[in-house]
Structure 1
């Protein structure tokens, strides 16, 4: 039992450190990884999704769908594929791969130019900047 508890805490610490490194690779403060709710907000910034998705991630069952979607966008933002998404969602190994591996942040969806073009055309009125 003690061995299980020690292994579990080691896994949790590794996940926190890997998430911290992912945030830093994406140009965000690493300490944001340990602040509840704020860490999700920063993750949504990294993957290029609006802040109101945080509400969707708080709704039971809906959060599973949007959580997988967010992980998929995160893996693509680091140039990885759906296997990394699967590893993130099922085992958490994908988080370790992104944090400790050689993956480099390439912008939301992995293509910042295409993302800027898309997001410029597909915004809500309240997201428009005042001129």
Structure 2
């Protein structure tokens, strides 16, 4: 029984590593960067267009790390042209949605986390600017 659990666990780990490897490659990064702990989060932040110092909140600040990871997953979804529903899938069923993002037909559209990309996304949806966006 324990042997089956270990095999299943190792299979999940392999699937998630392969998925992140492919996501990194789709975004123009080297796939091997996905297997280095902490550095893979830094690269993920670069893919979504957020500064490297966010890693502090993702690793060291309790509760904030959950918020920042959800935020990062949302920007990852949108960087590949997906919507908020896909973000919920990444959060709740990552074992299914990360492989879909990696091996499906989703294409990297650039970092969603930059102000320019955010404005382009809002224009695509036909939504106006926020009040605080007038300087952009």
| Post-superposition CA distance 1:82-117 (Å, at most 9, x none) | 12211111121221111111110000129x893398
Q: Displaced runs of 4+ in structure 1, greater than 6 A?
A: none
TM-score, scaled relative to structure 1: 0.82
**Alignment-derived partner of residue 127 in structure 2:** none
Unaligned 5+ residue runs, structure 2? 121-134
The runs of 5 or more residues in structure 1 that have no matched partner are 123-131
RMSD: 2.3
Counterpart residue number, 1:57: 58
TM-score normalised to structure 2 length: 0.79
Aligned counterparts, 1:3-82, within 5 A: 3-58=4-59, 59-82=61-84
- In 1, are the aligned partners of 2:20 and 2:34 still within 8 Å (CA)? yes
CA distance in 2, matches of 1:33, 1:117: 29
Name the residue aligned to 1:125: none
